[in-house]
C-alpha cells in the first residue's frame, strides 16, 4: 500500500520492494492503478518475473497499471481498500497520505501484521508496535525479512 | 461514530450528544447496532424526539438498536464505514478503537469536517487540526456548537 | 425500484405509488437519484407528507432527488442495489430495464416479498409466483394492498 | 458463474469447462468457495495447469476452494457478485439458482458478453440473445469457442 502520488525516492523504494517480493515467490497485491506506489511496486515485481494482482477502485481497467497479471474491478472507489487489506497475508505500507493511513488502521483492525516502510513512528499506534502487530522497516529488504518472519509465525500458529 | 463497546462515562456522553443533535433538528446517522456509542447516541436522540438512521454492517436487523427510525442493511461488514462517512455532513467521533480511528481518517480523506469529542490530540493529524478540518471538543455541547459552525461555513461556501 | 428512465405513464404510476406509500405511514426507500421511477415516487411520497430515504450510487449528493429526507451516499455504483434490497421490508418493482430485473432477482434471493407493478409475467420466475414470493399488481393501490398483506404475514410469522 | 450446489452432471461439466479455459491460457475467475460450480471449475482449471482467482464473499479464506492461486477476500457477501462480473472479460453461466440469474443480468447490464452453458432459453432476455449479447452453448467446448469469438471481436473493436 502507499500513496497514489509518490516522490521519485519513494517510487524507487516501492519498485525495489516489488522486485524483492517477486524474488521471494510471493504474489504482490495492490490498488492496481497506473501511478504512485501502486505502479512502481507492480513494475518492480513484473520485471523480476513475479505475479501482480491489482484491486481497482474503478468500474473499468482504463487506469490500470500495465504490469498487472489480474485486474480485479470493483467499481467501489475507496471502498475497495478493505478488500485489499482482507486479501493480504501481510500489509506493507509505503509512505502515503490519509488513504494509506486508513489502510494501516484497517489492517490492524482486521488482525493483519503491518510493516511501515520509510515512515516515522506514529504515536497513536505505539501500543500495536509494542505488541508486534506493527513493525517499522528502514529498507525494502528489511521489510521483506519482516514479512518472512510474519509468515513463519503465522504458519506455526495456524 | 465511536466504539462498539463504551465505558459508562463515554456512553453517557454519547447519549447526551444524541439528545443535543435531535434538539438542533438534525438527523443522527450512526452504525446502527444495539451497543456502545451507537446505541447510546441513538437512545439520546430518540428520547429527545429526533430521527435516527443506522447503517448496519449486518445482513439483517437482528443486532439493530431499538431506537432507529430507519435501518439501512448493508451486509458489508466494516465496508459500511465508508458509507457512514460519505453520508454525513459532519462527523463527530467519540472515543473508540481502531474502527473509529479509521472512520476519522476516512472522513478527513473525503473532505468532511471531523470533531473529536473526548479524545486527546493525535499528533499524526495535527496538520488537519491546524487548518481546521479537525476540531477537538471537550463536551457534547461544544461538539454541536462546532457542527453549527461547520454547517454555516458549508452553506456560505456552497 | 424501477428504471432510471421512465415513460410519462410509468412516472405517473410511480408518483401515485409514492403517495399511497406515504398515506399508509410507511417509509419509502429507493435509489435516490433525480430521475426516472426514483424521482417520481419520491415526489409523490413527499407531497403526501411521507418520509423518503434514497440510497445513492454516487460519491456525493449532486444527482440526488430534491425530495429525499435522508440521502445515504454509498460511492458504490450499482453495488448499492443489494443494500436497497436488504434494507426493504417489501420490494415493489415498477417497469425498468436490466438494473430493475436484477433487483427483483436479488430480492427473491434474499427472501423478500416482491411485487411487480405493471410488468407482464416473467416465465423464469413462475415458481416464485406460484409459492407467493412474487406477486403481480395491476395498479399502485393493488400494490400497496399486497404490501399490507405481506407485512401482516411477516408480523404473524415473526 | 453457477450454483453453489451442483448436481454431479453440472459439476462434471464445470470441471471440464475449467480445464478448457486453462488450456486456452485464460485466467479462470469465479466466486472462490469450496463447493458447487465454483469448486468444480477451479479443480478442472488447476489440474490442467491454469491460474484461478476466487472472489470470496467471506471475511476470511475458511471456505475457499483449495485450487485457488489467489483468493480475493471481500467480506461483502453477495455484494461481491458485481465485482466478479466487472472483473471478467466474458461471463460463462453454468446452471444455478437466483444468485446465478442475478449475475447473468448484472453482466448484461455492464455490457459483458454472457454465455449460458446448459440452460434453456430465458424468454425475458430474448432481445439480448437476438443482438448477440447473450449466447447459448450446449457443451463446455462450445462455450469456450464462443469466448474466443467474443475476445476476438472485443480486440477488433477495442
Report how far residue B15's alpha carbon sits from residue A156's, in angstroms, rounded to the nearest whole number: 45
Tens digits of residue pLDDT in B40-57: 999 999 999 999 999 999
Query: So what's the pLDDT on residue B16?
Result: 98
Give D95's contacts in chain C (Cβ within 8 Å): none
What is the nearest CA distance from C76 to chain A, expressed in angstroms? 4
Give per-residue burial for B22-56: e unless 16+ CB within 10 Å, then b: beeebbbbbbbbbebbbbbbbbbbbebebbbbbbb
DSSP-assigned beta bridge partners for residue D93: D116
A158 pLDDT more than 90: no
Residue D24 grid coordinates? 486456452
Q: How many CB pairs under 8 A join A and D?
A: 52
Residues D39-58 have a mean pLDDT of 97
What contacts D16, CB < 8 A, 6 or more positions away? D44, D140
Give the closest-approach CA distance of C112 to chain D in angstroms. 13
Task: Quote the cell numbers at residue A6.
Answer: 509518490
Which residues of chain B are within 8 Å of residue C83 when distances are taken between CB atoms?
Answer: 72-76, 83
| Chain A residues inside the 8 Å CB shell of D69 | 27, 51
B102 inside 8 A of chain A by CB: yes
What confidence category does residue B106 fall into, taking pLDDT thresholds of 50, 70 and 90? very high
D49, pLDDT greater than 80:
yes
What distance in Å separates the CA atoms of residue D17 and residue C15, rounded to the nearest whole number? 48
**CB-CB neighbors (< 8 A) of A109 in chain B:** 78, 97-99, 102
CB contact under 8 A, B109 and A79: no
Q: Report CB contact under 8 Å: C72, B55.
A: yes
Question: Does B133 contact chain A (CB < 8 Å)?
Answer: no
pLDDT in tens, C138-150: 999 999 999 999 9
Q: State how far the Cα of B147 lies from the Cα of B153, in Å rounded to an integer.
A: 10
Mean pLDDT of chain C, nearest integer: 94
Output the pLDDT for position B158: 59
Q: Report how far residue C128's alpha carbon sits from residue C146's, in angstroms, rounded to the nearest whole number.
A: 15
The residue of C3, C82, C93 whose CB has the most chain D CBs within 10 angstroms, and thus the best one to mutate to test that interface, is C82
Chain A residues touching residue D72 (CB < 8 angstroms) = 53, 55, 72, 83, 87
Q: In the predicted model, what is the mean pLDDT of chain A? A: 94
Q: What is the grid cell recorded at D64?
A: 475457499
Residues of chain D found within 8 Å of residue C99, distances taken between Cβ atoms: 109
Minimal C-alpha gap between B82 and chain D (Å): 13
Which cell numbers in the block locate residue B2?
A: 465511536
Which chain D residues are within 8 Å of B76, Cβ to Cβ?
75-77, 79
What SS3 class is residue C91?
strand
Q: How far is A31 from chain D (nearest CA, A)?
A: 13
Subunits close to A (at least 3 CB pairs below 8 A): B, C, D
The rounded distance, in Å, linking the Cα atoms of C147 and C133 is: 12
Phi, psi at C137, each rounded to 5°: -125, 140
The C-alpha cell of D41 is what?
A: 471449475
Residue whose C-alpha is closest to residue D12's, from D36, D48, D46: D36
Q: Of C97, C109, C123, which has the smallest distance from its Cβ to D99's Cβ?
A: C109
Q: Which residue has the cell 428512465?
A: C5
Say what the pLDDT of residue C156 is: 83
Between D56 and C122, the more confident residue is D56
* B6 SS3 class: coil
**Which residues from C are below 8 Å from A59, CB to CB?**
77
pLDDT above 90 (res C155): no
Q: Could you give the CA distance from residue B116 to residue B147 in angstroms, rounded to a whole number?
A: 11
How much helix, strand and coil, in percent to the nearest 5, is found in chain C? 50, 15, 35
Label residue C158 by pLDDT band (50, 70, 90): low
Tell me whether residues B59 and D77 touch, CB distance under 8 A.
Answer: yes
Chain D interface mutation, best of C96, C98, C99, C127, highest count of D Cβ atoms under 10 Å:
C98
On average, the pLDDT of chain B sits at 94
pLDDT on residue D158: 59
C-alpha cell at B100: 473509529
Q: In chain A, positions 45-84, which contact chain C (CB-CB < 8 Å)?
A: 59, 75-79
Give the pLDDT confidence of C30-89 residue by residue, as tens digits.
999 999 999 999 999 999 999 999 999 999 999 999 999 999 999 999 999 999 999 999
Return the residue of C nearest to D121 by Cα: C124
List, for residues B61-99, the tens digit of each pLDDT value.
Answer: 999 999 999 999 999 999 999 999 999 999 999 988 888
How far apart are alpha carbons A109 and A103 in whole angstroms? 10
Q: What is the pLDDT of residues A103-133, one digit of tens each?
A: 999 999 999 999 999 987 678 888 999 999 9
Say how far apart CA D132 and CA D126 lie, in whole Å.
10
Average pLDDT over residues A94-108: 91
**Percent of chain B scoring above 90 in pLDDT:** 86
One DSSP character per residue, A29-95 reads: EE--BSSHHHHHHHHHHHHTT--EEEEESSSSSTTB-TT-SEEEE---GGGHHHHHHHT-SEEEE-S
In the predicted model, what is the mean pLDDT of residues A3-10?
94
Cα–Cα nearest to A63, from A81, A39, A83: A39
- Closest chain C residue by Cα to residue B158: C62
Amino acid at each position: 500500500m502507499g500513496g497514489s502520488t509518490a516522490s521519485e525516492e519513494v517510487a524507487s523504494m516501492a519498485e525495489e520492494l516489488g522486485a524483492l517480493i517477486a524474488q521471494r515467490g510471493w504474489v504482490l497485491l495492490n490498488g492496481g492503478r497506473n501511478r504512485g506506489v501502486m505502479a512502481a511496486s507492480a513494475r518492480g515485481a513484473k520485471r523480476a518475473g513475479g505475479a501482480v494482482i491489482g484491486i481497482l477502485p474503478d468500474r473499468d481497467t482504463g487506469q490500470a497499471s500495465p504490469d498487472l497479471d489480474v485486474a480485479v474491478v470493483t467499481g467501489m472507489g475507496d471502498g475497495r481498500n478493505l478488500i485489499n487489506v482482507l486479501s493480504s497475508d501481510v500489509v506493507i505500507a509505503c509512505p502515503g497520505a490519509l488513504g494509506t493511513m486508513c489502510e494501516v488502521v484497517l489492517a490492524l483492525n482486521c488482525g493483519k501484521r503491518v510493516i511501515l516502510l520509510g515512515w516515522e513512528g506514529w504515536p497513536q499506534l505505539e501500543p500495536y508496535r509494542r505488541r508486534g502487530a506493527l513493525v517499522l522497516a528502514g529498507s525494502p529488504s528489511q521489510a521483506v525479512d519482516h514479512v518472512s518472519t510474519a509468515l513463519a509465525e503465522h504458519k506455526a500458529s495456524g
